[in-house]
């Protein structure tokens, strides 16, 4: 089961869950993903140990997609 989570004031919230063979769940996850990107979130997936990648489309085969807010210099 793949998950789309958003880091927020609760620690993190699960926005969508899907399996690649459940097209309905994938479509719902894609919609939720786009909505979060429209709100200004950035999506990250792990790309191996110590590596991460930012993505602009939902990677359906990823186990975990994390939504983060943009950063700025302090």
Partner 1 sequence: MAAVEVLPEAEALYWRPRVDAARLRHLGRLWTLSAAFHVLPFVSAAALLMWAQPLALPVALACLAHAWIIPELYAQRGANVLRHRARQADGPEQRSVGLLGDLVGHDARNLHARTGLVIEPGALGVWIVGEAGAVLLHGRRKQAYCYCIKVDAKHPGAGELPSGDRIAHLLLALRSDEQGFATVANLAFAGARWRLRRRMRKELRPALDAALLRSDSASCVAR
Residue 15: partners with Cβ closer than 8 Å, 6 or more residues away: 4, 5, 6, 29, 32, 33, 36, 67
With CB under 8 A as the rule, give the number of residues binding partner 1.
33
**Would you say 5 or 26 has its CB closer to partner 1?**
5
CB 65 within 8 A of CB 12: no
Interaction between residue 38 and partner 1 (CB under 8 A): no
Interaction between residue 51 and partner 1 (CB under 8 A): yes
User: Contact residues for partner 1 (CB under 8 A)?
Assistant: 5, 7-12, 40, 42, 44-47, 49-57, 59, 62, 64, 66, 68-74
């Amino acid at each position: 089961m793949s998950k789309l989570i958003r880091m927020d004031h609760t620690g993190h919230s699960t926005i969508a869950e899907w399996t690649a063979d459940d097209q309905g769940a994938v479509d719902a996850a894609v919609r939720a993903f786009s909505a979060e990107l429209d709100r200004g979130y950035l999506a990250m997936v792990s790309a191996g140990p110590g590596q991460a990648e930012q993505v602009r489309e939902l990677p359906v085969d990823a186990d975990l997609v994390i939504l983060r807010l943009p950063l700025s210099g302090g």
